[in-house]
């Protein structure tokens, strides 16, 4: 006689368009009963973790590197009490903003960078980590070029 055992497994389904990031997708959870023939416990509980890389993970990891790099100058100047250019100065990016504005801008960049880091699943793959560091290098060089004349002006 062949006895079947019942196991409950959770599946998630997302209901947004294809071109959005995983961390932005609301998911609906539903349960499905699966019927297995009797297997040894170690085979029955064996799960395979599949972590597919999608094209937008590369974009998110690159942007995460850029946003997290932008935290550093604004936060350092803000907590030091020094005025520093920000997007809210007049003219934007050239005039000086108050230290409070710079700290708020740094914390906003930190929040967005963290969400992009988690959404891009950066720590799950070496290629995504490389893309993350390329974003850091790109933003560092852009900031260095943009602010090279700040102290001389």
Q: How far apart are CA 119 and CA 42, in angstroms?
A: 32
* pLDDT above 70: percentage of residues in the chain: 64
Q: What confidence score (pLDDT) does residue 30 get?
A: 40
Q: How far apart are CA 120 and CA 55, in angstroms?
A: 10
Helix axes 99-119, 55-80, angle to 10 degrees: 160
Q: Domain segments of the chain: what residues?
A: 5-44, 55-146
Phi first, then psi: what are they for 66, rounded to 5°? -70, -45
Phi first, then psi: what are they for 60, rounded to 5°? -65, -40
Q: What confidence score (pLDDT) does residue 43 get?
A: 57
Q: What confidence score (pLDDT) does residue 26 get?
A: 44
In tens digits, the chain (153 residues) has pLDDT values of 455 544 444 444 444 344 444 444 444 444 444 444 465 565 555 555 556 778 888 999 999 999 999 999 999 999 999 998 888 888 887 888 899 999 999 999 999 999 999 988 888 888 899 999 999 999 999 989 988 876 555
Q: How far apart are CA 135 and CA 30, in angstroms?
A: 38
Contact residues for 63 (Cβ-Cβ < 8 A; gap 6+): 116, 120, 135
Nearest to 17 by CA among 25, 6, 9: 25
Residue-wise pLDDT tens digits, 1-31: 455 544 444 444 444 344 444 444 444 444 4
Q: What confidence score (pLDDT) does residue 49 get?
A: 55
The H-assigned helical ranges of the chain are 41-44, 55-80, 99-119, 126-146
Q: What confidence score (pLDDT) does residue 130 get?
A: 93
């Amino acid at each position: 006689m062949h006895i079947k055992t019942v196991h409950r497994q959770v599946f998630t389904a997302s209901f947004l368009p294809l071109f959005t990031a995983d961390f932005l997708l609301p998911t609906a959870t539903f349960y499905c009963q699966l019927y297995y023939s009797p297997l040894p416990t170690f085979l029955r509980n064996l799960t395979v973790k599949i972590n597919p890389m999608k094209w937008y993970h590369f974009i998110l990891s690159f942007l995460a590197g850029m946003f997290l790099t932008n935290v550093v100058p604004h936060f350092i100047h803000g907590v030091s009490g020094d005025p520093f250019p920000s997007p809210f100065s007049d003219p934007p990016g050239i005039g000086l903003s108050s230290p409070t504005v710079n700290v708020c801008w740094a914390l906003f960049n930190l929040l967005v960078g963290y969400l992009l880091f988690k959404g891009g699943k950066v720590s799950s793959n070496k290629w995504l980590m490389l893309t993350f560091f390329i974003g850091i290098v790109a933003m560092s060089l852009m900031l260095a070029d943009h602010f090279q004349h700040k102290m001389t002006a």
